[in-house]
Structure 1
Amino acid sequence: MAKTSGKQGATVERVMHEYKHGELKTSAGEKVKNRRQAVAIALSEAGESDRVSPTENRTRAGRTQARERQGDTGEDRAKRAGTRAELYEEAKRKGIAGRSTMSKAALAKAVDG
């Protein structure tokens, strides 16, 4: 494996910490129970994966760094927003298209943005 930058190492460390404490979730929202899957997610988020192109790695690393700078994930926004039904009603008031098929996190993002 190539040398990692400080930011990449910090991202890997954060993701593995989430895994250790049972907070790491898959894109489908299920808890990650396999250490190898956690490592794959960490490398992917850090932009170190050997399974994708260097361009894709840079894109993923940039996206992760931007999210970490913000310090606000979609899940955090959804927790603060209340229930999905409340978010749906607010989206309905604002006339947001596609609201019926959105998840709670997606509704929170659409209503905020």
Structure 2
Amino acid sequence: MPERRTVQKARRDKRAGKSPTTQAGEFVHEEIRKVRRGQHGARSPQQAIAIGLSKARRAGVPLRPPAKGKAKARTRKSAEYAYEAGQGKRKTRRRPRVSRAVSQALKREPRGTASRAALSKQARSAASRRSASARSAAARKAAKTKGQAQRSAAAKKAARTRARRRR
């Protein structure tokens, strides 16, 4: 069950006209926080991200399941199920035994997968699979929905990063 604060943040993102992936990002952040706090673990950063995306879909974020060929059939089916549940097109049955088993299994997983280094490595590898133009277009789109104060802060941060890399 996602925290109320997370659902509120996702709704705020939706009102601001941000994309479903940005809205779902709030749920991914929550999952990473949970792993860092030690509430449960994850086998890899990708697993923590997948759990967050699933929770987002179930909470009603209109994040479409991956297209055919983009993910394993099992992953796609799971995403479709979560998406339909969140959109109210499917009734979800409570399965306490399965729920408990999943919780117990996650508690046995390592916590280091949500470390700064692990997430940085995951982000770099994900970005490297996209073209430079796709990355640039995403950055331009993000800048449109940022707002003046945040855009200014982001520009200052970018300038500091560039200065640090020149040294």
Q: Say which structure, 1 or 2, has more relative contact order (CA 8 Å, 6+ apart).
A: 2
| TM-score past 0.5 threshold | no
The two structures have a TM-score, normalised by structure 1, of 0.35
The two structures have a TM-score, normalised by structure 2, of 0.26
- Higher Cα Rg, which structure: 2
